[in-house]
Amino acid sequence: MSKILKSGAARSNITPLLGTSLAGYFNDRKAVDVLDDLHAKALVLDNGETKIALVVCDLIVLEGEYVNRARQIIESHCGIPPENVMISCTHTHTGPATAGLLGVDKEEEYLEFLVPRIADSVQMANRRLQDAQIGIGVGHEERLTFNRRYWMKDGTVRTNPGYKNPDIVRPAAPIDPDVGVMRVIGADSQTIALLTNFALHYVGGGPSDAVSADYFAFWADSIQRMHEEKFIAILANGCCGDINNVDVNNPPSRTGGYEHAKHVAAILAADVFSVSENLRFSPECRLAAVREKLNIPIRPITNEDVKKARQMLNGASEPLNRDQAYARELLFLAEMEPKIETEVQVIAINDLAIVALPGEMFVEIGLEIKRQSPFKYTFVVELANDYVGYVPTVKAFDEGGYETMFARSSKLAPEAATQFTESAVRLLGKFQK
């Protein structure tokens, strides 16, 4: 029997109050302005047997504790089981401090406000269910992204070595040019929601003390203008732990505020529009979701490491310098359990698999999962359902660089990348006939 799709979409405002600490830099910044609102954007898909909720939040990260609390509310009000709910973050660097990161502690009061607002977005989307059709496709974009880690002439690997640096040899890894597009339309052919998956860390460029959803919001505005209609436009980040928008050979021609971010957003929106206008839509929809719990070890810390960190911080005052900041991070990590529990999730929508991973994944992790996926289309979404920090590849640990420096934002053992990849491939295999 055919499973006919119903779908609804909504967004809730999750903009923090002025004075809230913002995350994404090495120092604690307090919000003094709001350039554009932050949102939790939700898409609910229901085929009469299975119901799925996809949520993307304009946040830097979100830990599993808060994801699971939101899932519980969603299950209570909408009947959607936790394993069928994906909650991910865009990774804007001008949003509230939702976790303890370098130079900033998490905003507990904001998180208490946030959790029910995430659930609200799903509840509203669930109330708006209507007959729908779905179309899925993938475009290609190589102009916007660059691997930010480079081999240098001295044999080291550096992150963001600077424009026109004469010591640059070559990028240390590739990019992921896929532009994943899933568009849902109603019986009137009007767009209900459009979800895009693209691997780009963030763009930035605006004032560091003003709240903004960054290029993710500019993209949402652009794609709606191109379609000449209003709908929920959702941009889910791909594996981009080592990807950014910085072309070291060519400084950006557009400077000042978010002009460059808006330019990037417009190019990506044009790519998405081209794909979305040529999709084949179907009212039939197969839905399923699976997840797997993982226990990932953190890198070991010795008593000598702790002693050195304490010595470095002895007499230190705010603001801490870079070495002192990392010493403080080590003391935080010394209090952690030797392993952390997290999850990998796969949601199947017709011939699309959405793989949800909980950290800042290096691009090669996503590429390998796609290579091994049995699905026609595979979107890999990072910073989903939990936050475990950077997840570099094994070779990246050998190379060194910023993303491997020991901190709450980079704490897992080198084998974590393999564990996440193998888990994702296992879950994808459960859908093979």
Q: By C-alpha distance, which of 92, 104, 97 is closest to 205?
A: 92
19/33 Cα distance (integer angstroms):
9
Cβ burial 77-89 (10 Å sphere, 16+ → b, else e): ebebebbbbbbbb
* Same-domain status, 210 and 350: yes
48/327 Cα distance (integer angstroms):
53
Over residues 266-281, the pLDDT tens digits come to 999 999 999 999 999 9
Residue 295 lies in a domain: no
Percent of the chain's residues with pLDDT above 90: 91
CB neighbour list of residue 158: distance below 8 Å, 6 or more residues apart: 149, 150, 152, 401
Residue 296 lies in a domain: no
Domain that holds residue 322: 301-337
264/85 Cα distance (integer angstroms):
30
Q: By C-alpha distance, which of 11, 227, 7 is closest to 134?
A: 7
Token output for 375: 């699905």
Three-class secondary structure of residue 328 per DSSP:
helix
Average pLDDT over residues 282-308: 96
Judge whether residue 216 has pLDDT over 80.
Answer: yes
**CA separation, residue 106 to residues 101, 112, 209 (Å):** 8, 11, 16
Evaluate if pTM is beyond 0.75.
Answer: yes
225/216 Cα distance (integer angstroms):
15
Strand 339-349 and strand 352-356: the pairing is antiparallel
27/398 Cα distance (integer angstroms):
28
How many domains are contained in the chain? 2
Three-class secondary structure of residue 225 per DSSP:
helix
* Same-domain status, 53 and 86: yes
Judge whether residue 167 has pLDDT over 60.
Answer: yes
Q: pLDDT averaged over the chain?
A: 96
CA dihedral 173, 255, 95, 53 (to 10 degrees): -60
* Same-domain status, 103 and 129: yes
Judge whether residue 2 has pLDDT over 60.
Answer: no
* Same-domain status, 91 and 122: yes
Residue 231 lies in a domain: yes
Average pLDDT over residues 417-427: 98
Three-class secondary structure of residue 198 per DSSP:
strand
**Banded model confidence at residue 322, pLDDT cuts 50, 70, 90:** confident
What does the angle CA 264 – CA 268 – CA 270 come to, to the nearest 5 degrees?
A: 120
Over residues 32-70, the pLDDT tens digits come to 999 999 999 999 999 999 999 999 999 999 999 999 999
* Same-domain status, 144 and 19: yes
* Same-domain status, 83 and 142: yes
Residue 1 lies in a domain: no
- Which position has the higher pLDDT, 425 or 3? 425
Residue 362 lies in a domain: yes
The strands making up 21-23's β-sheet, listed across from edge to edge, are 29-30, 21-23, 95-96
Residue 215 lies in a domain: yes
* Same-domain status, 227 and 254: yes
Percent of the chain's residues with pLDDT above 70: 98
* Same-domain status, 89 and 183: yes
* Same-domain status, 194 and 312: no
Average pLDDT over residues 78-91: 99
Residue 85 lies in a domain: yes
* Same-domain status, 322 and 275: no
**Banded model confidence at residue 1, pLDDT cuts 50, 70, 90:** very low
* Same-domain status, 363 and 418: yes
Residue 110 lies in a domain: yes
AA letter at 344: V
* Same-domain status, 244 and 186: yes
Average pLDDT over residues 381-392: 98
